[in-house]
Structure 1
Amino acid sequence: MKRRHNPILTFLFAGLILLFTGGPVVLSLIGSVVPDRILLNSDAGLFDEGINFETYRYVFTGELPAAYLTEGANRAMISDAARQVPRSLWNSTVVAFAAMVLNLLLGAPAAFLFARYAFPGKKISFLFLILSPLVPTVALVTPIYMSLQAVGLVGTQLGIILVHTAKALPFTVLILSVFFRKMPAELFEAAMLDHCSRFQAFTRIAVPLALPSIGATGLFAFMLSYSEYMFSMVLSGDAETRPVSVVMAALARNTDVSWSLLNTGIFIAIVPTLLLVALIWRFAVEDLLGGSVKG
């Protein structure tokens, strides 16, 4: 007998998940448009003075907020690191997008081979691939830095892209191989009878059927690269190539920084990921959860 789901519990747990994931985003947005004198004053309402976009104007134009132009104002609360947010945001978007594309170009064919074909060393190579993320990042920083320094890629976006691609590639191969393995074998047997090569079977059959899975995996690779900090900090150079995670860490370490300015930087930093999720949600995630690939 099939058990009925309780809609109240479903909405309750969905609401808790939404509060946990969306609450910090809403709080950072509110904190970015409310001046510090109101934000830190328990006797005043948050929107008594209306919303204020002076911190956004400072981040993008360098114009100081009016509150810090008055005599005796604490100028230390305005950090120059916030001015690097727009440039670092573009850097992180370029790096994460490039890492995502490379992950799909390299990971999807590799996952297809691991899932559908047998070849010498398959088990050991797949085991090595999926266990490689278990190596602590700290243990890899020095050898990777020395390797990239030897080829002149330290302080360049290309160096960070290559490292981020290598870091996300095991997850890409593992996740996509599961979906490729679930596809009916009859489809590929029919393709072989029609004289399709392995590459044609991959591009004409596997990829179209797995597009939702590929899209979701690409989103994962993008997010992993966009939020990565350790290698970005070590391998990035000056402000021209610095990713947003490094800039935000520098901004957060300033104990005197304005809370409103800090929240502005946080909200600006998460906007690209919000836009990306909104753009591909219907295409990738809904189809993926709906079980577009059935074995």
Structure 2
Amino acid sequence: MMAGRGNRLSTFLIATLILMFTGGPVLLALYGSLVPDRVLLSRETSVFDYGLSLESYRYVFFGELPPSYLVEGANRSMISDAARQVPQSLWNSARIALSAMALNILLGAPAAYVFARYAFPAKKLSFMFIILSPLVPTTALVVPIYMLMQSLGLIGSIYGIILVHTAQALPFTVLILSVFFRKLPTELFEAAMLDRCTGFQGFIRIAVPLALPSIGATGLFAFMLSYSEYIFSLVLSGEARSRPVSVVMAALARNTDVSWSLLNTSIFIAIIPTLVLVVLVWRFVVEGLLSGSVKG
């Protein structure tokens, strides 16, 4: 009994530490976005003296300057114009990441199925090429990819960024899904062939339903990778209207005089899409994977 209680206590403490480490920065960003700088940077005042404020959110979304920066002598350099780009950049990142996720699933799942279930010439060589391609340093690919996108007329367009982000995540998608498809019982596909199902029908009717949790997990990874990618987004985005949120946040963070409240507001707004996506797919992906492991 004592050993069981000790294990539960240690598990609870470790889980609490992990939650604090992962969720703590999000809560701090939310707190910092709702508290004015005069409270954050002062030891003599507290949030109970001034209360919570949405003035930073009003500036980000509507351009309304906080009242504290309208008075004479206020340091207006703490208000960065980059913060006004956050809503548009957030929309750009959402479109880019969702498109990269969809393309990864549409291209990666059939490719993984072919690698897992079929034999064809140069199969091992092509598979190793796909899997080892992420080992090439990103900095070595910036110039060639920029020249390629320039020749295609995609510089300054989100379509070029979508293509690059899709290519970045595809090796992981193919690797994970091919491992899953390889473990599916061969008898299922043999029975489908007896029922006159083609290879494509077997993929759609048998492999895809069984692989939905894994497909959801790899799609989520592709979204996260695209949403947080910076180097190619910076090089290919061009004007402010097509910049993803990672580029705008980097520009905002480089301003050493920026308001802490404004910076925290931008950080929390940038986190919201990933939090929403995780909440939406968490139950489907995690419970599906757990149930699959129990049944196996």
Alpha carbons of structure 1 residues 277 and 215: separation in structure 2 relative to 1, 3 Å: same
Q: How do residues 149-160 of structure 1 correspond to structure 2 at under 5 angstroms? A: 149-160=150-161
TM-score (structure 2 length as normaliser): 0.96
AA in 1 matched with 2:246: S
Identity, % of aligned positions = 74
Task: Name the CA distance, whole Å, in 2 between partners of 1:243 and 1:67.
Answer: 30
Alpha-carbon separation, structure 1, partners of 2:32 and 2:215: 36
Computed over aligned residues only, the root mean square deviation of the Cα atoms, in angstroms, reads 1.4
Q: Tell me how far 1:110 sits from its aligned partner.
A: 0.5
Secondary structure at the aligned position of 1:44 is classed as coil
Aligned to 2:216: 215
Per mean C-alpha deviation after superposition, the further-off stretch among 69-78 and 192-201 is 192-201
Tell me, yes or no, if structure 1 residue 22 matches structure 2 residue 5. no
Task: Give the distance between the partners of 2:262 and 2:213, measured in 1 at CA.
Answer: 38
Aligned amino acid, residue 277 of structure 2? L
Match of 2:105 in 1: 104
Question: Does the CA contact (< 8 Å) of 1:31 and 1:259 recur in 2?
Answer: yes
> 1:1-295 to 2 correspondence within 5 Å?
6-291=7-292
Amino acid at match of 1:288: L
CA contact (8 A) 1:182 1:293 kept: no
Distance in structure 2 (CA, Å) of the matches to 1:118 and 1:47: 69
Q: How far does the alpha carbon of each residue in 1:183-224 deviate from its partner, in whole angstroms, 9 at most, with x for none?
A: 111111111111111100000000001111111110110010
Deviation of the 1:291 alpha carbon: 2.5
1: CA distance, partners of 2:269 / 2:247: 14
**Aligned partner of 2:113: which letter?**
F
Question: Quick one: distance in 1 between partners of 2:121 and 2:11?
Answer: 48
Contact 1:182/1:294 (8 A) holds in 2: no
What is the number of residues matched between the two proteins? 293
Q: Distance in 2 between matches of 1:142 and 1:29?
A: 38
Mapped to 1, the partners of 2:48 and 2:174 lie a distance apart of 49
User: What TM-score, normalized to structure 1?
Assistant: 0.96
Q: Which letter does structure 2 place at the counterpart of 1:219? A: L
Alpha-carbon contact 1:191-1:201 (below 8 Å) kept: yes
Cα distance in 2, alignment partners of residues 140 and 293 from structure 1: 42
> Does structure 2 retain, via aligned residues, the 8 Å contact 1:107–1:173?
yes
Q: Deviations over 1:12-31 (max 9, x none)?
A: 11111111110100000000
**Segment drifting more, 10-19 vs 38-47:** 38-47
> How far has the Cα of 1:150 moved from its partner?
0.7
Instruction: Kindly provide the amino acid, as one letter, of the partner of residue 179 in structure 1.
Output: F
Displacement of 1:54 after TM fit? Answer: 0.1
Which AA in structure 2 matches 1:180? F
Which residue identity does 2:150 align to in structure 1?
Answer: Q
SS at match of 1:208: helix
Q: Which SS does the other structure have where 2:243 is aligned?
A: coil
Cα deviation for residue 45 of structure 1 reads 2.3
* Cα deviation code 1:134-175 (max 9, x no counterpart): 100000000000011011011101100000000000011111
Cα distance, 1:289 vs structure 2? 3.1
Contact 1:156 1:241 (8 Å CA) reproduced: yes
* Alpha-carbon distance in structure 1 between the residues aligned to 2:221 and 2:294: 19
The CA deviation string for residues 39-75 of structure 1, in whole angstroms up to 9 with x for no partner, is 0112322343111000000000000000000000000
- Structure 2 distance, partners of 1:258, 1:282, is 37
1:284 is paired with a residue of what secondary structure? helix
